[in-house]
Amino acid sequence: MILAIDVGNSTTTVGLFDREGKLLFRATLETTRSKTQDQCAIDLLGVFRLYGADIRGVDGSILSSVVPPLTAIFTEAMTRLTGKVPMVVGPGIKTGLNIKAEIHNQLGSDIVASSVAAIAAYPSPIVMVDLGTATSASLIIGSVYEGCVIMPGLTLALEAMWSRADALPPISLESTAPVELLGRTTEESMRSGALYGHAAMLEGIIDRMEGAAGSSVTVVATGGEAPRILRYCKRTVHYDADLAMRGLYLLYQKNTRKPRRS
């Protein structure tokens, strides 16, 4: 079995694949920068117990992290639990992506993983959207990663607004009830602005990327905020919650597969 972990700014995703590449489970933990190696190891053991999996059956693992202080901590915890040093997505990893030179060393490992999975599953050209702490939209044509746009994420933008505007209260977006476009209270108006505004911003960026691509694009979205936002988008967007996990699995296979003898 292959263990895949994606450490994001807000959440950490843990996935386990069987030998055929089937995702056995995907779990989400809170990202806490102060955690120790022991705490991370305990969290991972808890996830395996929750899903009835045996960590001793892990044959290999791969780690993606956009939180540098936690990269070494998770590497050590994963090594301790599995007895094998995990592959870490970064310089030297074969991706199959032709990344534009100016951003080659700056591209987040989570975006790399999601891009690899998107290329494998969806027709080109692709706009790959990650809706998390930040919102990013990447244009991929064939195997070429053309570049991306990075914007404040939904919750981050909302928190910035109420923290800087004294007359605006903190609000929650947890409700699953549809939000009307025109709010009748301050809270309703803020929810409408956050959700419809983010959806409209996203569609505007996609339209511009479509223009840059010179043809219609396939739009695929992932990330924890995606279900909240996509329901307010007018255009077709494929929601793929497991995109980064599948990308990590593909990266692991690409970098461990033995070359065929001629």
The position carrying tokens 């309703």 is 188
Q: What is the pLDDT of residues 72-110, one digit of tens each?
A: 999 999 999 999 999 999 888 898 888 875 665 667 888
**Which residues are catalytic, by number?**
110
Please give the pLDDT value at position 167: 80
Place of tokens 């933008």: 157
In DSSP notation, 104-157 reads TTTS-HHHHHHHHHHHHHSPSSEEEEEESSEEEEEEEETTEEEEEEEEE-HHHH
- C-beta separation of 77 from 50 below 8 A: no
Q: Domain 2-88, what fold?
A: Nucleotidyltransferase; domain 5 (3.30.420)
- Which regions in the chain score pLDDT beneath 70? 101-106, 259-262
State residue 176's pLDDT score: 74
Q: Which fold has domain 98-247?
A: Nucleotidyltransferase; domain 5 (3.30.420)
Q: What is the pTM of this model?
A: 0.88
Fold: same for 2-88 and 98-247: yes
pLDDT at 96: 87
Q: What is the CA radius of gyration of the chain?
A: 19
Residue-level pLDDT at 117: 95
Task: Give me the pLDDT at residue 190, please.
Answer: 87
The whole-number pLDDT of residue 170 equals 85
Domain boundaries, the chain: 2-88, 98-247
Q: Tell me what pLDDT residue 10 has.
A: 87
pLDDT score at 105:
63
- How many Å apart are CA 41 and CA 224, to the nearest integer? 23
- The helix, strand and coil proportions of the chain, stated in percent and rounded to the nearest 5, come to 40, 25, 35
